[in-house]
Amino acid sequence: MFIVHDYSLAVVFCFITMLCWGSWANTQKLAEKNWRFELFYWDYVIGILIFSIIGALTLGSTGTQGRSFIDDLKQADSNNIISAFIGGIIFNAANILFSAAIAIAGMAVAFPIAIGLALVLGVIVNFMASQKGDPMLLFAGVALIAVAIIINAIAYKRSSKAESRPSSKGIIISLTAGVLMSFFYRFIAASMDLGNFENPAVGKMTPYTAVFIFSLGIFISNFLFNTILMKRPFDSVPVSYSDYFKRKFKTHLTGILGGLIWGIGNSLNLIAAGKAGAAISYGLGQGATLIAALWGVFIWKEFKRAPKSTNTLLGAMFLFFVVGIALIIYAGL
């Protein structure tokens, strides 16, 4: 299987993760005019599962290093399989709430609050489990990103007043999603031997196998979580499975593309975690907040009616994010 041996390449993979995790939601924005996000989300989940299989059968099954996907799956301990599967369930619960927050509040709000909070709590959780990297630099970077989250919330409050729209529901859902999101990565990381991908401990899984099991957890749990949300949506009328199957395949491709994009980022992040460590890899990947905020502000114009003073706040938010991410990178050197 393919293994990262160089820290610089691991950082590059984390930056690609950042781009993927910060950009997949654009497919939801593109589809939302004529496609409810509950239905879109089914295609998104299918896309994640598809890429996990592609990654496992290609990068996870070629080369002479480590165990191939099939061999690794056969020897995996049931506790590790369950751990990765639970990670998928937790992620799915969090991500459904997160997708709802995007639909209600927009990318420029949902990403900084939900994913920003997940970054702060997730780095703490993962560092406590696997202490790799300079803690002073790592947590200084996390603190600056936390400041950026607060600044974004202030900017959104001003924007909401300008557009005369309530913001409490979107913020509450975003916060809930962020808390849940901070825990999923730890369960996947615990199922792998992060210290040795070349000769992983017996029973532990390679990142490719762990991603596949994780994706199965997302897909299977979606029959419960998304069915409930389809029948009792946050901000609209109920939808049915018949509504899903009425659409043309071209419509479904948008959601599948979103899942493929997220899946690419997830796989590269876990591959990089072997060299960078779980806390740093996760923290850099969740810098996706900056990418999503850029999309929301400059492409989707989500703050276009806000007072001009809001631009100063947004500029400060981006500055704190960039410096915070830089400190997280240096923490691993």
Range of the domain at 227: 7-330
Does 2 reside within a domain?
no
> Looking at the 3D structure of the chain, how many domains does it have?
1
Does 75 reside within a domain?
yes
CA distance 136 to 284: 16
Q: What is the pTM of this model?
A: 0.89
Which of these, 318, 280, 282, lies nearest to 91 by C-alpha position?
Answer: 282
Percent of the chain surpassing pLDDT 70: 95
The whole-number pLDDT of residue 255 equals: 94
Does 255 reside within a domain?
yes
> What average pLDDT does range 228-239 have in this prediction?
88
Q: What tens digit of pLDDT does each residue of 83-133 get?
A: 999 999 999 999 899 878 877 777 667 777 887 789 889 999 999 988 889
Q: What tens digit of pLDDT does each residue of 270-290 get?
A: 999 999 999 999 999 888 877
Percent of the chain surpassing pLDDT 90: 59
19: Cβ contacts below 8 Å, ≥ 6 apart: 265, 288, 291
Does 1 reside within a domain?
no
Give the 3-state DSSP-derived string for the chain, with helices as H, strands as E and coil as C. Answer: CCCCCCHHHHHHHHHHHHHHHHHCHHHHHHHCCCCCHHHHHHHHHHHHHHHHHHHHHCCCCCCCCCCCHHHHHHHCCHHHHHHHHHHHHHHHHHHHHHHHHHHHHCHHHHHHHHHHHHHHHHHHHHHHHCCCCCHHHHHHHHHHHHHHHHHHHHHHHHHHHHHCCCCHHHHHHHHHHHHHHHHHHHHHHHCECCCCCCCCCCCCECHHHHHHHHHHHHHHHHHHHHHHHHHCCCCCCCCCHHHHHHCCHHHHHHHHHHHHHHHHHHHHHHHHHHHHCHHHHHHHHCCHHHHHHHHHHHHCCCCCCCCCHHHHHHHHHHHHHHHHHHHHHHCCC
Does 21 reside within a domain?
yes
